[in-house]
Amino acid sequence: MATALVTGASSGIGETFAHALAGRGQNLVLVARSAARLDALAAGLTTKHRIRADVIIADLADAGATDAIVAELGSRGIVVDTLINNAGFGTHGEFAALDPKRELDEIMVNCYALVALTRALLPGMIARKSGAVINVGSTASFQPVPYMATYGATKAFVLSFSEALAEEVRAQGVRVVALCPGQTETAFFSNIEEARVGRARTPKQVVTTALRALDRGAVVAIDGLSNYALANSNRFAPRRLVARIAAKIERPKSLKSK
Ligand SMILES: NC(=O)c1ccc[n+]([C@@H]2O[C@H](COP(=O)([O-])OP(=O)(O)OC[C@H]3O[C@@H](n4cnc5c(N)ncnc54)[C@H](OP(=O)(O)O)[C@@H]3O)[C@@H](O)[C@H]2O)c1
């Protein structure tokens, strides 16, 4: 049976990926920090779908976390066929005033861990001439996002990295998808409520979009028609204008009166 590793499986889009992949009969490796949530998810999926679900607790902001995950996979004899790099978070506010440690953690979780896990697991997929990597970007991948500067930059990285890799491994039996959701009903905005833009879609819609893209060999999967239109509307506009409009939308309320 094939095995999928899902980072950020304790909540939202990652948890929904876990349900969908278990439904496809895949074994799972569930990665995040919330041990109790992952244990409960693994137990539920094992009973419902008769799959194997392993839990690996990891804080992906730690530089050593991905090596520890790979070592753990080795010691449990797990071969990963599908890697879902989903764990991520965003910060909102004036960059110069945001907690510097959290900005760097954001890069570690959204980019460093994604690259490290891909680098560790891709060679095996290439050798087996089969496998898939889904990297979770965002509609923020397509434009600069003032007041979410680090977040937007991490997601632009995810898109660029994924598109490049997809092309490199195209003829080697491995598929790479950049999944780009817009606002989605998850815990993502719980600490950054005022950063919400537009109507939210459900994690189920997002995961359906991703798996459809994977099945038909698409590289970039933007979830939802209006998100697709928004992402593409930026293409021919001057970047500076796009940044200015985004700044108006994302500017914290506390600054609007200034
Ligand atoms: N929701 C949206 O509107 C939206 C839009 C575009 C893109 N996205 C992207 O979708 C992905 C999933 O987010 P979500 O919307 O499902 O949000 P969520 O419900 O907050 O889930 C985030 C997941 O990431 C994990 N995570 C966060 N920090 C981590 C760390 N240091 N180490 C390990 N795991 C960590 C969390 O697990 P623990 O807390 O248990 O560690 C959780 O499972 C993210 O990459 C996000 O950027 C979301």
* Ligand 1 contact, 144 CB (< 6 A): no
Of all protein residues, whose CA lies closest to atom 46 belonging to ligand 1? 88
Instruction: Tell me the pairing of strands 53-57 and 174-180.
Output: unpaired
The whole-number average pLDDT for the span 57-75 is 98
Give the position, in ligand 1's atom list, of the atom nearest the Cα of 139.
6
The proportion of the chain whose per-residue pLDDT surpasses 70, expressed as a percent, equals: 99
pLDDT in tens, 143-198: 999 999 999 999 999 999 999 999 999 999 999 999 999 999 999 999 888 888 87
- Asked if residue 257 has pLDDT above 80, the reply is no
Q: Distance between CA 230 and CA 78 in Å, rounded?
A: 40
The whole-number average pLDDT for the span 114-137 is 98
Asked if 155 is an active-site residue, the reply is yes
On average, the pLDDT of the chain sits at 96
Give the position, in ligand 1's atom list, of the atom nearest the Cα of 13.
16
Band the pLDDT of 1: cuts 50, 70, 90.
confident
* The two structure tokens encoding residue 127: 């050798």
* Ligand 1 contact, 152 CB (< 6 A): no
Give the position, in ligand 1's atom list, of the atom nearest the Cα of 62.
31
Of all protein residues, whose CA lies closest to atom 41 belonging to ligand 1? 33
pLDDT in tens, 215-251: 999 999 999 999 999 999 988 899 999 999 999 999 9
* Ligand 1 contact, 34 CB (< 6 A): yes
* Ligand 1 contact, 61 CB (< 6 A): yes
Q: Please give the pLDDT value at position 226.
A: 95
Residue 211: which region, alpha, beta or left (left: phi > 0; alpha: psi -120 to 50)? alpha
pLDDT in tens, 83-107: 999 999 999 999 999 999 999 999 9
The whole-number average pLDDT for the span 103-124 is 98
* Ligand 1 contact, 157 CB (< 6 A): no
- Asked if residue 15 has pLDDT above 70, the reply is yes
Contacts of 73 (CB under 8 A, 6+ apart): 5, 29, 56, 79, 80
Band the pLDDT of 199: cuts 50, 70, 90.
confident
Return the domain boundaries, the chain. Answer: 3-256
Catalytic, out of 48, 147, 151, 204: 151
* Ligand 1 contact, 16 CB (< 6 A): no
Q: Distance between CA 257 and CA 208 in Å, rounded?
A: 41
Q: Distance between CA 256 and CA 258 in Å, rounded?
A: 6
- Asked if residue 256 has pLDDT above 90, the reply is no
Q: Return the CATH class of domain 3-256.
A: alpha beta
Q: Please give the pLDDT value at position 198.
A: 77
User: Terminal CA-to-CA distance of the chain, rounded, Å?
Assistant: 59
Asked if 151 is an active-site residue, the reply is yes
